[in-house]
Chain A
Amino acid sequence: QVQLVESGGGVVQPGGSLRLSCAASGFTFNSHALNWVRQAPGKGLEWVAVISCDGSKKYYVESVKGRFSISRDNSRNTVSLQMNSLRPEDTAVYHCARGGVATERGNYSYYYMDVWGKGATVTVAS
């Protein structure tokens, strides 16, 4: 069945780095954009980043620009989130989420999220 499984979460000190991975199965991986969405403890959902089907386009929420980097390997059906210069406010469960049918407007594609992974927990604390 269609599945997304995150890994790589853990505890890291402020200023440290962590790399999350998401393994996909059950669908044609290179036909879908992939997102990362996070949820801080007791809080709502916050979209973090998206990468297009072929990896050529990437967009980020302002608060992680220059610190986080999203990438994908279509030969291994994986998407990753490299997180550097981590801050306590980055503490959250990070979900990998598949982009649904793209909405094309101008030079951009936009997505709702139709399949979600269970998430990986990232804790930034000293």
Chain B
Amino acid sequence: AIRMTQSPSSFSASTGDRVSITCRASQGISNYLAWYQQKPGKAPKLLIYAASTLQSGVPSRFSGSGSGTDFTLTISCLQSEDFATYYCQQYYSYPLTFGGGTKVDI
């Protein structure tokens, strides 16, 4: 199985900050990577797929980059509603696998 490793596992930030989360795959996955946001007690929400394609309705302050094994999710100007846990997921091979999550708090 492909292992997805996110870093950091958590960090604190302030509204208005530019923040980045890294996801590394244990083997090359081309650009078959998605990012999700999850708030406590809620279902995950798709933010980005194909490493850099913004899902419809997601604010443009979210962006994704990377290919192969190294990927980044960037939030250009953190808003209060962005404090949540973020997960990456590879869809290059089965089993589909997620990173361990990155919690962004105030």
A residues bordering B, Cβ < 8 Å?
35, 37, 44-47, 50, 59-62, 95, 97, 100-101, 103, 105, 108, 110-119
B residues bordering A, Cβ < 8 Å?
1, 32, 34, 36, 38, 42-46, 49, 55, 87, 89, 91-101
Task: Pull 5 A–B residue pairs with CB atoms less than 8 Å apart, ordered by A.
Answer: A44-B98, A44-B99, A45-B38, A112-B34, A112-B91
When the two chains form their complex, are residues B97 and A110 in contact, meaning their CB atoms are under 8 A apart?
no
- Bound CA–CA A44/B97 (angstroms): 11
Which residues of chain B are near A35, meaning CB under 8 Å? Answer: 96
Contact A46/B98 with A95-B44, A110-B93, A114-B49 known, Cβ cut-off 8 Å: yes
**Which applies to chain A's interface (DSSP): helix, strand, loop or mixed?**
strand
Q: Which residue of A lies closest to B46 (CB)?
A: A114
When the two chains form their complex, are residues B91 and A103 in contact, meaning their CB atoms are under 8 A apart?
yes
Which residues of chain B are near A105, meaning CB under 8 Å? Answer: 92
Which residues of chain B are near A97, meaning CB under 8 Å? Answer: 44
When the two chains form their complex, are residues B55 and A111 in contact, meaning their CB atoms are under 8 A apart?
no
When the two chains form their complex, are residues A110 and B92 in contact, meaning their CB atoms are under 8 A apart?
yes
Give, as a whole number of angstroms, the nearest-CB distance from B82 to chain A.
Answer: 18
